A and B are shown apart, each in its own frame.
Chain A
Amino acid sequence: MTGILVIAETRNGTIHKTTREAAGAAMELSRRRSVPAAALLLTETQLAGELGALGFSTVYTVEGERYGKYNSESYTAAAAHAARQCSANIILMGATGMGRDLTARLAARLNGALASDVIRIHYDSDPVSVVRPVYSGKLLAEVELPGSPRIISLRPNVFEPASPSGQQAQVVRLDPDTASIRAQVKQAIQAAQGVLDVTEADIIVSGGRGVGGPEGFGVIRDLAQVLNAAVGASRAAVDSDWIPYKHQVGQTGKVVSPVLYIACGISGAIQHFAGMGSSRFIIAVNKDPDAPIMNKADFAIVGDLFKVVPVLKEELIKILN
């Protein structure tokens, strides 16, 4: 077992960024260990050429309705089949929702070692060792993987994506065993924009007393929409009836821990902080440089939120497109 396999994800006719990142890591491993790297493409197989051009020697594809939407059973069967085809010793994937689910089941199917949400790979170590955050990111664990194969999911936005080369990959269509599927996807529910609940959103844009009134939440909502974020609020804003209670974040509201929390016009007293202090990153926009939130934020902007937030939105639109 020597090969490297990347399991690809696509979205709306494009190869997902995390797949390009996994390809980047795969190419690095491939180069250093002089082993071939293959990719498995389960959806939108018309992208096989583009995927192959990232440096893969082989792109495996599958066809059929059962691959239309992510299904752990059919996908696991296909991935295991591909892994055997290329004698994969290392299997990489982006640590997306699907990636984390599929790698888990695959690891058990292949009786291998699993490392999820990896932020660093020691490419030259033997056996492969990786670094992943543990204890809510309070520590980093260097993990060695004596088991085989090694199934690794990579934290998004960390690895350098592979850039397209002129290389042409061999496209091989697989016909994996079709075990019975017991868990069927009935429907995909897309979260409607702007109505995300604060407890489930990865990004929250929150407004407080500084927002000044119900109409002040307009700029907050605009920014939230651009970021596909939920709209939060401090108790003061909710008590003033500017926004309904379900948006309230804090000791007496919802307790949230998003990846990014943008606090606009919120002083950030303990009653609010207790509800969002475990956010991974905090950006604060406040006129008052002495507001408690400014001390606690990773990035604090001293200024009028009505001037700063719209610009922030425009800048984000630029970079996101």
Chain B
Amino acid sequence: MKSKKVRVLAIPYAVWIVGFTLIPLMFVLAKAVTSPAGGFTFDNLLAIFDPVNRKSLILSLLLAFISTVMCILISYPVALILKSSKIKNKKILMFILILPMWMNFILRILAVQMLLSKNGIINHFLTMAGLSPINIINTPYAIVFGMVYDYLPYMMLPVLNCILAIPDDIIEASRDLGANRLTVLRRIIIPLSLSGIGSGITMVFVPSMTEFVIANILGGGKIQLLGNIIEQEFSVTMNQHLGSGLSVTLMIFVLLTTLLFGRHEDTNKGFVL
């Protein structure tokens, strides 16, 4: 009886998955393996080896990789500091960390554009302090900055959850057994927080790899990621078949990343967001 009721409750989910994931995915797959004139072809999938597309794919992967590493480098120390701090209500601190996510993401990126632009606020303060202004707007650096700014909470939360969940007893025990701070970090904290880092990587690397809006706004239209090419194929060139083909290739990379880093999630179910 009970299981039947549960199944009824799953209907909205089934509708969602079928209507908004499976059916659209079929369309994309069908377009990816056909040519505009009709007929089966692998050309759209192989188009990734075209020099222009390949270059954009490599750039996408590179920027996504740098952003992910930066996110880890920022989140991890913060999590460690929070872990050892005496603050009672750590929930409040986590709340502050995710507060920026309450604002629309395009608005946040436009704000970053304002901050970084040539006569922007950051340069204004730099020149006031007698320093030379920085010129990173419309370069890949600005895109990385935007991605880190945008996706940091997605890394911060799982890492923080994971580290805060490590029982203090374990750390104390290892201390008693003569481990110094570095050994505790290396042998206890890092291994026990790998699952958090794993889900953080998936949640940061995947969206930054498929990104095109940030690249457009902060890259000044000069930097072309694979996401931008796909967008162009759909909106300007109107070659939906090629666009779908490239999307499918990108999906393969997404799948690989998820398989590589996502498997840790099973071992530590309770703490993933």
A in complex with B: no
